Each structure stands twice: as C-alpha cells, then as structure tokens.
Chain A
C-alpha cells in the first residue's frame, strides 16, 4: 500500500505565500510578511521530511495525477507529479537550503523598503523550482524552468532603480532565452518522435528500442543541453551569472548558487537515458563542463568583488557537475550538486554577513583583518572555504573527488578531462583561500588607505540601500544578528559532514549516496555492438557492469587531488599572507596574462561586438528605421494623408452657401435626367 503523499501541496504552499505577500504585503506589517514567508517555506520542508521518513515504503517512482492539462489529438500533457530518489534529493536541497536562506533573509533584508516584494518573489521562486523537480513530464518541467527564470529576473533586478541591476536582470533573461530556445526545440523533437512528453512514456519507448543510438537522440540531447547551458551558466552562455550578483545576496545564495542554476544538471540527470544513447552528446557535455570549470576558475583568480569571485566559482563548480554528467557518472554530478548547495550557499551567506558587517562593502581590497571582529562568520566561512577547496574530509573533497575519479576511469572520459579537472581543483583552492586571506587576515585596508579608489564605481554596486552607501562607516564593524548566524552555522555543519553520506568505497566508505540514487540514474552502458549482437540473437541486451572501482586507484587519486588542493592553499598563503607585496610584482611581470584574465578574456566585449552590436544595428536601423518608420509608418501615414487630402477636396463642396447646394443639386439632377433619358432611348432603339 502506498500512502497518499499530496505532492501537489509542496509547490502550492509557497505559491499561496507568494499570493498573500504579493497582494497584501505592501500594506501589511513586517512581522506578518515575515511569518507568511517563513511558514510558506517551512511547510514544504516539513512535508519533505515526512516523505523522507516514509520513503522506504513507497513503490518508486511514485506518481500523482491531477487531471489533464493539454489534450490535442493523440498528444496530451497532464498535471502530474513524480517522486523518485533523484526528485527526493532535489526536494531536500531546495526546501532545506531554501528555508535556511529565507530565515537568513529576515535579518539581511530587515532594512529594505521592498521587504514584502522580496519575500513574495522568493516564495514564487520556490513554487517554480519545486514544480520543476516534481514534474512528471517535460512540459510541466518547462513551466518550472521558465518560472524560475522569471523569479531570477525579478530578484536580480530587485533594486530596479539602479541601472546596473536592471540591466543585469535583462541580461540574465535574454541569455536564458537562448537556452530556452534549445529546450523548446528539444521538446518539439520529443513530440515528433515519441508523441508524448511524459517521462514514463518517453523513457519506456527508448528502453524498448536498444537499437536507437545517436541520430535524433543526439539532436535531442544536444538541444536539451543548450537549455541546460543557459540555465546552469555554462560556456558559451555563462556570462549572465556573474552579472546576476547585482541581486541581493540571499538571492545569489539561493537561486544563483544552490538551486536554480543546478536545474540544468538535474535535467541532464533526469533525461540520462537519452544521453546514455549518445556518446557524442556525452562528450560535448563533458568537454563543455570541464572547459567551463577551468575557464571560470581562472577568471575567479583576479576578481576583486567578493560576490563575483563566488559567482565565477559557482560557474566553475557547475562545470564540474556537467563533467560528471558527461562521463555518465550522474550520481556523482548530483552528489556535487548537493554538497555545492551546502557550501556555496554558505559562502554567499557568509559573504552577505561580511557585507552586512561592513555596511555594504563588496570590494575585497577594502576588507582585511575581520577575523576577530566577526568570529562566527569567520569560522563558518572557513568551513565553507575548506569544503570547496577539497580539504578532506569535508563535503567538497568527497564529491569533487568522486567526479575526478569517475572522469579518470570512465570510458567516455579520459585522462585529459581528469587532468584539467584536477588543475582546476588547485585553482579553486587558490582563489578561495585568496578570498579568505584578503577578507579575514592582515590589516583592515579601509577606505582611507585606498582613498584614490573612492572615485571608482564600486560603491554603486554595493549591496545595501543608498543611504547606507553614502557613508561606509555609518556604524562600526559588527557581527550579524542571530537570525542570520543560525543558517550559517547549520550550513557549516552540513558543509563539513554533508559529504559523508557519499564517502567513497576506496577510502573505506560505502558510497551510500550513489547506491541510493542509482535506481533513478542508473547508468546502463550499452555499446552499439552489444545491442546489435543482442538484437540478432533475439534476446535482451545485457548491460556491462559499470567499471569496477579500483580502490587503490581511488585512494591514489584522492591523495593527488588533496595534494593539489594543498598547493593551491600554499600559493594563496605565500601570495596573500606571507608576502603580500608579491601579487603586484607578479602582475607587472606577467602583464599580458594579467590583463587578459583581469578583463575576463574580454568575453563580454567579444559578445558585444559579434552579437549584441549586429542585433542592435538590425533592430535600430533595419527594423526600426527601414521597416518600422519607412514601410509601416509610411504606409499608414500615406493612407491617412490621402484620405485627409481627398476629404479636404470634397469638403469644399460643403460651403455652407445654400445656393451653391441648390446649384449642385440642380446640376446633378440635370445630369441624372439626361442620362436616364438617353439611356432609355438607347434601350428602346435597341429593341
């Protein structure tokens, strides 16, 4: 017997919170808004916790059907939800981390005018994100997919009076449109080939036809991946994520680190049956993933804005997840998704706490020496930095190691992927410790010591209200309130122990997480030869067992990656703690590389010149001037003026002079008379 779980309540409760706060919040007192927002995010978390306790008794996948949505001939899409291991993991992350970040925001956003608006949007985001992961068909998933994009846009542009924030929101939205275009094409291909968008139906049809390899499945997989690359900020569509840091910091933590940007990884894992059939698509995913990881990590090295470092770090870590998916190690990718959600959310929240302490300062060059002033933030952030850098036995070490190991042994992967990933791990460690040292150690490099930088527009990007920005020292450096520190502490604990659920077998663990997830993302390696042989023999193809883990190899690789992470720390320690004058000298020595990386490889500029400028030219001059002004406006204006001119001509007849009216009347009556007379005569003559 399967209990009724009422999955539909999970997304709808935050939606109700959105409606209440969105409609009534403007006038409502703040405690009311706070209560609604927290309850609306807590109830799904409790419900997910209840589901976790019942999970063992369920028959999976658990399906829930709530009526038809679209029925067009043979094609139909329903409001149906699905729960399996993969969904459960995502639900835990979204509701758990989501609630913690809601709690944190109560303290962080306390002084904001748009308090109610912020929480309404946050609840809206939860609604769409939960719809995305619970959906049982591609179309409902697409609804969630678009919806989180909308919530992301609204929250990036939360301070919409600031030009840069409004532009960042637009950029995120437009870049995501490119990815959504790919997603939509994939949906159309799925309808064309399978006549259905239901996961169950599509995957059953694929499973029934082992001879389908590559071909249209490659096309579907690649188009889906285009969507994933947009949402999850992969090359070439990663450019929106660093700009998305214009939003409030809790938004960066929830949407642009922990949940929404991982939707692409979730989608690839969810549709892994399609990817499994297409080695080409898998290779593309792996190569894009590892290059993004490396590329973004190099940019992260020289960023000075604390949130932008974290943003590039997020892009880089998402690259790792796609690397895992690309070598068909989906459970490793999802595992990294989970641990990343813990430590990256923590990093962002801690960064928010730092900015809170410094009245909105985001520039790391103006920080320093904060270790003793904000100790809780310091210690929690240290846990996160160690976790992301891959220090054993913290969460990041376990999951990243799993990915690198899978990349090493996978037949789809290769030693090159592993090597690049490994080097990136060193870079990660380096830039995270750079952030750590710059922020917490040394002397406070206050605005006085950097007086010449005051003119720089860093403050325009600061994360708090303008009134606070005007004077960065409005109040002394202070630790954040407890409502912000509790989420930090919980996430810090999770960052430390969160990885233990997937402790690798090579290091004496059982890798419980991978075993748990395997029914949902089990990777059946079927080579084309095997299937053709099996089809010829008329039997079902037997999958090759996944490559057996070589425990010694795993241990060795873990040692290597730990050593690399250690060297990353060592370099950061030398450059930013032991000899702080060294970075400037290195910058002049390696001037070319420094300029290249400092300017983020000019990717934004290149896109601007190659894509944005031609599109704007087309829009302004061809469409705007030629088509709109000349053809359309010209056409309608000509029609209007013609009628007007003709009317003016006719209007002269209506002179107001009675005798002229009478004259016209007599004139035309005479003509009528003549015409009818001669007309009749001809008529009679013809007779």
Chain B
C-alpha cells in the first residue's frame, strides 16, 4: 500500500506547479488551466486523507470525497463562466495578455 506521504508530496508538487504557472504565465487561458491544476492538487490531498481516515477508523469515511465533488462542481461552473468571460474579453480587447487587462486598477 502506498503511504499517504507520497500522495501529499505529489499534491504539493502539483499545487506548486499550479502556483508557479499562475504567477509566470501571461496568457489568460494558461492561467485558467493553472487554477484547475491547483484545484485538482487539493482534490488529490482530500482523497488521500479520506482514504487514510477510513483505514484508521475501520469504517468507510466519505467526507473528503464529498468535498471533492463540491470542488469539481465549482470548477465546472467556474470553467463555464470563466471561459465565457475570457471570450467576451477577447472580443472586446483583442488580446489575452493578462497584464493589459487592468481597467479596474485604481
């Protein structure tokens, strides 16, 4: 059986990649994808802890897995709305460079 630490390390690596991509990339779609990556890193951690918790107690524990479903639903909704916004922004400004979309700046 794979120890929980392996899962957590993988989750941390995935999350860090997501953060780094979020900070570095300028294309808004890439940034969007890095957010998805971070969400999935968190999902992995949830699943790992859920499994671990079931083993310790001897009963099936699904709290973490239910959380993951929530995250997936939110991510799906986010993808739908987010992509729509991205398309609207591209139509309006003809660019996907995140640094030039700063109209809300003070």
CB distance from A242 to the nearest CB of B (A): 66
Are A655 and B105 closer than 8 Å at their CB atoms? yes
| Residue of A655, A659, A663 contacting most chain B CB atoms (<10 Å) | A659
What class of interface size applies to chain B in its complex with A? Answer: 10 to 19
A662 CB–B CB distance under 8 Å: yes
Q: Mark B10-32, 1 if CB is under 8 A from A, else 0.
A: 00000000010011000000010
Complex: chain A residue closest to B102, CB-CB: A656
Report if B2 contacts A (CB, 8 A).
Answer: no
B23 touches A663 (CB 8 A): yes
Cα distance, A404 to B23, chains bound together (Å) = 106
Decide if A656 touches B23 in the complex (CB within 8 Å).
Answer: no
Interface residue B106 (Cβ < 8 Å from any Cβ of A): yes
Q: CB-nearest residue of chain A relative to B22?
A: A662
Determine the chain A residues whose CB is within 8 A of the CB of B73 once the complex forms.
none
Whole-angstrom CA separation of A659 from B102 in the bound complex: 11
Cβ contacts under 8 Å, A657 to chain B: 99, 102, 105
Specify which chain B residues have a CB less than 8 angstroms from the CB of A654 in the assembled complex: 106
Instruction: Give the distance in Å from the alpha carbon of A651 to the alpha carbon of B105 in the complex.
Output: 11
Does A23 make an interface contact (CB < 8 A)? no
In the bound complex, residues from chain A placing their C-beta under 8 Å from that of B105 are 655-657
Q: Which residues of A contact B31 (CB under 8 A)?
A: 658-659
Chain A residue at minimum C-beta to C-beta distance from B106? A654
Looking across the interface, which residue of chain B has its beta carbon closest to that of A666? B19
| A425 shortest CB reach to chain B, Å | 86
Residues 649-687 of A contacting B (Cβ, < 8 Å)? 651, 654-659, 662-663, 666
Residues of the A chain whose Cβ atoms lie less than 8 Å from the Cβ of B5 = none
**Are the CB atoms of A659 and B23 closer together than 8 Å?**
yes
Cβ-defined contact, A659 with B106, below 8 A: no
Tell me which of A651, A655, A659, A663 contacts B98 (CB under 8 A).
A659
Q: Are A659 and B99 in contact (CB under 8 A)?
A: yes
Say whether B104 faces chain A, with CB atoms less than 8 Å apart.
Answer: yes
Which B residue sits closest to A665, measured CB to CB? B19
Smallest Cβ-Cβ distance to A658: which chain B residue: B98
Q: How far is the CA of A674 from the CA of B31 in the complex (A)?
A: 26
**Which residues on A sit within 8 Å (CB–CB) of B98?**
658-659
- Chain B residues lying within 8 Å of A666, measured Cβ to Cβ, are 19, 23
A662 to B23, CA, bound (A): 7
Chain A, range 629-667, C-beta contacts under 8 Å to B: 651, 654-659, 662-663, 666
A663 CB contacts on chain B under 8 angstroms: 23
Chain B residue at minimum C-beta to C-beta distance from A670? B19
Name the distance in Å between B14's Cβ and chain A's nearest Cβ. 15
- With both beta carbons as reference points, the residue of chain B lying nearest to A667 in the complex is identified as B23
Residue ID in chain A nearest B25 by CB atoms: A659
Residues of A within 8 A of B101 (CB): 658
Query: In this complex, what residue of A is CB-closest to B105?
Result: A656
Q: Which residues between 81 and 106 of chain B lie within 8 Å of chain A, taking CB atoms?
A: 98-99, 101-102, 104-106
The residue in chain A whose Cβ has the minimal distance to the Cβ of B101 is A658
Q: Which of B8-55 contact A (CB under 8 A)?
A: 19, 22-23, 31
A662–B38 alpha-carbon span in the complex (Å): 13
CA distance A45 to B97 in the complex (A): 94
Which chain A residues have a beta carbon within 8 Å of chain B's beta carbons?
A: 651, 654-659, 662-663, 666
20 new A-B contacts, CB < 8 A, other than A655-B105, A656-B104, A658-B98, are: A651-B106, A654-B106, A656-B102, A656-B105, A656-B106, A657-B99, A657-B102, A658-B31, A658-B101, A659-B22, A659-B23, A659-B31, A659-B98, A659-B99, A662-B19, A662-B22, A662-B23, A663-B23, A666-B19, A666-B23
Chain B residues packing against A (C-beta within 8 Å): 19, 22-23, 31, 98-99, 101-102, 104-106
A-B contact list, 24 entries, CB within 8 Å: A651-B106, A654-B106, A655-B105, A656-B102, A656-B104, A656-B105, A656-B106, A657-B99, A657-B102, A657-B105, A658-B31, A658-B98, A658-B101, A659-B22, A659-B23, A659-B31, A659-B98, A659-B99, A662-B19, A662-B22, A662-B23, A663-B23, A666-B19, A666-B23
